[in-house]
Structure 1
């Protein structure tokens, strides 16, 4: 259906400009002061952004349907202004074969309300799959154990993964935490009787992150492949990435909303509901991440949306899984930060729209331009809403940000010209 969006402040380039947006056959067909179309949608003076791209989600299919699925996950995405997601491979079974990828794609095509792509898991024994798989966003590598069975600790295998990525011009995205340090700290924690999430950052430490980042950067320097550091959480880790980026190309990194808006002190009240990998860090680390965002050291923001049921999170610390939902709350949190003058709106668009499209090759998305996909998010920068457990689209139906009142809300979302 063709239509025109009128009476909107449209984010074009790096500015808000009053324009009418003509949508035809799922594409942006014109950006003018006034456009004629049979169907007209009044945006009521609100702001029209490119649809957000969340490059790091766990929609839990296959193997975790009690936590999330493509129907609920994509509904949560749209509620949060996200029109494209890239799903991670640590499912059950893991997405490490072309068959597993095809199976995931079939389900997503049937159930997803938003655009999607997939990261492909690198394991100890799937080099042939890495050489032959097509249509993926990246090779995902775990250097520290987390949900799933994709840990790689053998340097020879890691070198082979990076080399295949270089040959095929595919990015390697890395969960950077050092497994040896985590194991050593875990043994110490159990010996001391630590049994609360407030100790999580003393187990999965800044040192674990920085040592792992050093390893990944050293190998990337040798091989020359594209490398993306996922969910960076510490000032030290960010500094390593900044230094490497000054000396060579092909390196990017991301930060998550929970590492930007929560600290390790949040675990005192939230307990396991603030348990995730990497762990939350200190206020000083959080401040460094915000500075990195403003100065351009952090390339993109992605949620690491990793839902678990309330029942799973209520288990004792050592049994409770790591991960928190976030896709529904990312944009409201960031808009609230705009209202508090902590970040500029253009930075949100750069980190959540333009940069993810550039890093992962979505040439038709990420900007409001004639010829691009009509993936659009309409926001009200003034409206206030309170995040409430039990009133969310994500299947797990809770948030670590529950009770937060935020100024800035998602009003309408369009995916390839469809009003969702």
Structure 2
């Protein structure tokens, strides 16, 4: 335990520090993995190491609660080192990994194996979702023994032990999650509507992007959210709607919130900054699921972002080899590499006056940590973890996927000029990224398990 008379491990000085009470010209004292002082330079203790941040912004590291790190049987797309290196390069200090892997993360054994596989490779904090098991009573063991931090449920296809058409099984699973006080992240697209619409477009011999958009329409998202909200109301479960994409979906979320249900939601940078026209012009490079929408939907998401109706900004980092994205549309892989572009893209919107820095940090750091119970993370406060990103807010640069740390070196944002570059990232008090270079060793990151006893 540090006392005021002792020398601390690290002092970061001469920064503009973002705190819950505002932005101040100040510095931080760090001992071990914790922030022990936020103060003017004259009030900081002596340190073994002092870093002058030259007036740059010092922000809480981002907490990205929607990330596909791949690894294991999908390591050719991304592995735990490259994925977490991408996070560090983008100022993301905590990522929460999705369960649709090979093997699917859905049992005590598969969660433990995933944690073991990640442990000696990661350079940032990593927590893990689990899919629901076949036997709902196994859910508690997955959290308590396995270490999963939350559950993920895909309503669009079967991932894990539960058929998304089986309401009784879903109800049992949600009751288990509610009893554990563990949130459930939802991919909200209704499987029955997807199957019906796909049969229809096939009968009409429609194909390509227009057919894909018809199958994955806003109505499919809306129906899934309404169904999920009804099941949550019956069980008392906390649900989190992933990658909200449409005004219809937003309306369903707002209706659930108005009823007092425990519902949160997220939006991605690509659903805020790209439209269906980008999908048509860029092709599968911009193919994501749910797909990009018309401008009217994007405008509704921006309005909800500003008025606080949307809770979280998340990347949905979903890396694939480029060639996997260009087969016929029904076989093409959906998803983009987002960890390294999220913060610069959002800082650019701050610079343009479309978003406040306070909203950005609330939605990309503070609120995600709150939703998943990541105590001590997401804010710069004394006693909190020293998960930090230093940003040069004046630096302009062009997004160049060939420089990504991720294995997925392609992006629909290629060539965009952005303003605001992450220049240093600290995780648990340790410098892991410096001027774009990963200086941490594989395994320097930390696996985060659920803190509250289930």
Shared fold (TM-score, shorter chain, > 0.5):
yes
**Match of 1:318?**
330
Matching residue within 112, 127, 142 for 1:133:
142
Matching residue within 211, 234, 245 for 1:222:
234
**Match of 1:48?**
58
Deviations 1:144-170 (A, max 9, x none): 128888652101111111111111111
* Pair 1:73–1:396, CA change in 2 (3 A): same
Give 1:92-111 correspondences, 5 Å limit: 92-111=102-121
**Match of 2:312?**
300
Deviation, structure 1 residue 318: 2.2
Contact residue 335 and residue 407 of structure 1 kept, 8 A: yes
**Match of 2:449?**
none
Deviations 1:82-106 (A, max 9, x none): 0000000010110011100001001
**Match of 1:71?**
81
Matching residue within 266, 278, 282 for 2:278:
266
Deviation, structure 1 residue 308: 0.5
Deviation, structure 1 residue 265: 1.2
Matching residue within 397, 402, 413 for 1:385:
397
Q: CA RMSD in A?
A: 1.6
**Match of 1:237?**
249
**Match of 2:37?**
30
Unaligned runs of at least 5 residues, structure 1: none
Give the TM-score taking structure 1 as reference length. Answer: 0.96
Contact residue 91 and residue 148 of structure 1 kept, 8 A: no
Contact residue 96 and residue 126 of structure 1 kept, 8 A: no
The 3-state SS of whatever aligns with 1:38 is: strand
Give 1:76-225 correspondences, 5 Å limit: 76-123=86-133, 125-134=134-143, 135-145=147-157, 151-225=163-237
Q: Give the Cα–Cα distance (whole angstroms) in 1 for the partners of residues 368 and 140 of structure 2.
A: 24
Deviation, structure 1 residue 136: 2.0
Q: Give the Cα–Cα distance (whole angstroms) in 1 for the partners of residues 406 and 158 of structure 2.
A: 22
Divergent runs of 4+, >6 A: 146-150
1:373 aligns with 2:385: yes
1:405 aligns with 2:405: no
Contact residue 92 and residue 148 of structure 1 kept, 8 A: no
Give the TM-score taking structure 2 as reference length. Answer: 0.89
Deviates more, 1:132-141 or 1:84-93: 132-141
Matching residue within 238, 242, 246 for 2:258:
246
Q: Give the Cα–Cα distance (whole angstroms) in 1 for the partners of residues 162 and 275 of structure 2.
A: 27
Q: Give the Cα–Cα distance (whole angstroms) in 2 for the partners of residues 314 and 173 of structure 1.
A: 29
Q: Give the Cα–Cα distance (whole angstroms) in 2 for the partners of residues 388 and 148 of structure 1.
A: 36
Deviations 1:266-315 (A, max 9, x none): 11122111112111111111111111111111100111111100111122
The 3-state SS of whatever aligns with 2:333 is: coil
The 3-state SS of whatever aligns with 2:418 is: strand
* Pair 1:68–1:375, CA change in 2 (3 A): same
1:8 aligns with 2:15: yes
1:339 aligns with 2:351: yes
Q: Give the Cα–Cα distance (whole angstroms) in 2 for the partners of residues 170 and 91 of structure 1.
A: 21
Contact residue 165 and residue 192 of structure 2 kept, 8 A: no
The 3-state SS of whatever aligns with 2:47 is: coil
The 3-state SS of whatever aligns with 1:22 is: strand
* Pair 1:23–1:329, CA change in 2 (3 A): same
Contact residue 178 and residue 209 of structure 1 kept, 8 A: yes
* Pair 1:416–1:161, CA change in 2 (3 A): same
Unaligned runs of at least 5 residues, structure 2: 1-7, 433-454
Q: Give the Cα–Cα distance (whole angstroms) in 1 for the partners of residues 89 and 158 of structure 2.
A: 28
Q: Give the Cα–Cα distance (whole angstroms) in 1 for the partners of residues 253 and 230 of structure 2.
A: 11
Deviation, structure 1 residue 259: 0.8
Contact residue 147 and residue 322 of structure 1 kept, 8 A: no
Q: Give the Cα–Cα distance (whole angstroms) in 2 for the partners of residues 46 and 350 of structure 1.
A: 20
Contact residue 146 and residue 277 of structure 1 kept, 8 A: no
